[in-house]
Amino acid sequence: MTGRENTALIAGGGIGGLAAAIGLRRAGWTVTVLERAAEPGEAGAGWSFAPNAVRAADALGVGGEFRAVSVPTEAGATLRTPDGGYLMRFRPGRDAPLLANHRADLHRVLAGHLPAGVVHAAAEVTGVEQSGSGVTVAYRTPGGSRTAHADVLIGADGLRSAVRRAVWPDVPGPVFQRILCWRGVTEPGAVWPVAGFQTWGRGARFGAHPIGGQRVFWFLTIRQDEPGRRYGDNLAEVRARIGDWHDPIPALLAATPAASVLCHDIFDLDPLPSYADGRVALLGDAAHAMTPFLAQGACQALEDAAVLAAELAGATDVPAALARYDRARRPRSQRVARMARQDPKVSLSTSPLTHRLMTRLTRVAGGGVAARKAARLWDWFPPTERAETSGR
């Protein structure tokens, strides 16, 4: 930009915020991350990542460590029915495995790439003001209210983003998708190995991924008409709903500490008109929160971070660079979010007819359909790779 130091503030110290911080530091920026939680980290569960996310991790310089804390899972192409029958089976050569890891493990990898003092914990953003020369952020800490000034502000502060509310006050808030999700992780070595699978019941969907430390991450999603309903014993509730489904589901539930099971309502966002306004941009769930049914939420956040870093590297005009980021990211991420919203309308349907048709069609044409769907989701490459490919 100029001969002076270029500074960035990032609201949110989750996966997307840390990835953005790593990317901007690699691009020569001085970065400060404001994280609302007193102890930054990720909730005790897992997730999976497709090849597009691994390419983004490589572009950010963390691909090797990303792979090191991840385990291949066949769950993306292994679909079963509650009685154990197969709708589709993973086939090497046709199907690419996903990579699954524990959220805390990935968070630790990303945090390890940032020097001490970059992430400020217990710092909750309360206000945003921008001018032609920079952005001023007000934030609250245990020691009192403070302000910080920077050349750019990245809102990576999740579904209920304070940055989004401050800069885009008129856009609609999160949308409840009538879905409840339980998540759990087994004790190390208790049920191992597990290749990974998904099981489609009527109005209920279970999935399991192996993760590091010989653990298995599992989830159950069901239809729920109203948000906020909770159960006294989450594990008992899960067991009551699917405890008689095929092996190894009962064993996975038995190997999971009851107190560790998480329960969340699933929300997403309607498409935003823009991810950028002047010197402020949104990233990850703050921009395009989506349902988890395509396993793309965190993948899209990593893509965001890689593109953002590429656009701001050497940029002489921050608003113009963020406008390019918006043009690059909004169409793709919103298309993925629409697909993620549409998927459970079929795969989580409570209609006997819809469920019967879905399972029959998947059994007949599942492999080809899955490959085409994966190509639409995974066919993304970082800006540097695209430039190198087009230059050949």
Q: How many structural domains is the chain composed of?
A: 1
Write down the pLDDT at residue 42: 74
pLDDT over 80 (residue 391): no
End-to-end CA distance of the chain: 29
Instruction: Report pLDDT digits (tens) over 249-290.
Output: 999 999 999 999 999 999 999 999 999 999 999 999 999 999
Residue 229 included in any domain: no
Which tokens in the block code for residue 101?
Answer: 């890891």
Which of 90-104, 317-331, 377-391 is predicted with the least confidence, judged by mean pLDDT? 377-391
Quick one: pLDDT at residue 364?
82
Is residue 167 situated within a structural domain? Answer: yes
Angle at CA of residue 157, ends 123 and 179, nearest 5°: 130
Could you tell me the pTM of the whole model? 0.94
Does residue 253 lie within any of the structural domains? no
Domain that holds residue 376: 7-175+268-390
Q: Beta partners for 281?
A: 154, 276
Percent of the chain with pLDDT over 70: 95
Measured from the Cβ of residue 366, the count of other Cβ atoms closer than 10 Å reads 17
pLDDT of 293 > 90? The answer is yes
pLDDT digits (tens, 9 = 90+) for 219-240: 999 999 999 999 999 999 999 9
Q: Using the predicted structure, report yes or no on whether residue 392 has a pLDDT greater than 50.
A: no
The string over 348-363, giving b where at least 16 C-beta atoms fall within 10 Å of a residue's C-beta and e elsewhere, is: bbeeeebbeebbeebe
Contact 164, 286 (CB under 8 A): yes
d(CA 388, CA 310): 14
Give phi and psi for 37, each to the nearest 5.
-70, 145
Confidence of residue 366 (pLDDT cuts 50, 70, 90): low
Q: Which two tokens stand for residue 99?
A: 């990579």
Asked whether residue 126 carries a pLDDT value surpassing 60, the answer given is: yes
Query: Which amino acid is it at 24?
Result: L
For residues 318-328, give the mean pLDDT. Answer: 98
**Cα 230 to Cα 222: distance, rounded to the nearest angstrom:** 13
DSSP characters for 254-265?
A: HTS-GGG-EEEE
Mean pLDDT across 203-215: 98
Please list, in sequence order, all residues whose beta carbon lies within 8 angstroms of the beta carbon of residue 144, skipping any fewer than 6 positions away.
none
pLDDT above 90 (res 361): no
Distance CA 222, CA 338 (A): 19
pLDDT value, residue 14: 96
Specify the range with the lowest mean pLDDT, choosing from 115-119, 144-148, 182-186, 387-391.
Answer: 387-391
| 165 inside domain | yes
Say how far apart CA 133 and CA 130 lie, in whole Å.
8
| pLDDT tens string 13-49 | 999 999 999 999 999 999 999 999 998 877 669 999 9
In a domain, 233, yes or no: no
User: Residue 385 — very low, low, confident or very high, per pLDDT cuts 50/70/90?
Assistant: low
Domain of 105, CATH number, reads 3.50.50.60
- Give the H/E segment covering residue 185: strand 175-185
pLDDT at residue 317, as a whole number: 96
pLDDT the model gives residue 305:
98
Distance CA 34, CA 37 (A): 9
CA–CA distance, 77 with 33 (Å, rounded to integer): 37
Is it the case that residue 213 has pLDDT exceeding 60? yes
Buried b (16+ CB within 10 A) or exposed e, 196-233: bbbbbbbbbbbbbbbbbebbbbbbbbbbbeeeeeeeee
- In sign, the C-alpha dihedral spanning 338, 340, 344, 347 is positive
Measure CA 182 to chain center: 16
Q: CA-CA distance, 169 to 185, in Å (whole number)? A: 38
Q: What is the DSSP letter of 388?
A: H
Q: How confident is the model at residue 390 (pLDDT cuts 50, 70, 90)?
A: very low
Sequence letter at residue 123: A
The pLDDT assigned to 370 comes to 67
42 vs 336, residue with greater confidence: 336
Q: Convert 42-105 into a string of H (helix), E (strand) and C (coil).
A: CCCCEEEECHHHHHHHHHCCCHHHHHHCCEEECHHHCEECCCCCEEECCCECCECCEEEEEHHH
Within a domain: 241: no
Query: Is the predicted pLDDT of residue 291 greater than 70, yes or no?
Result: yes
pLDDT score of 367 more than 50: yes
What is the spatial distance between Cα 329 and Cα 248, in angstroms, rounded to a whole number?
39
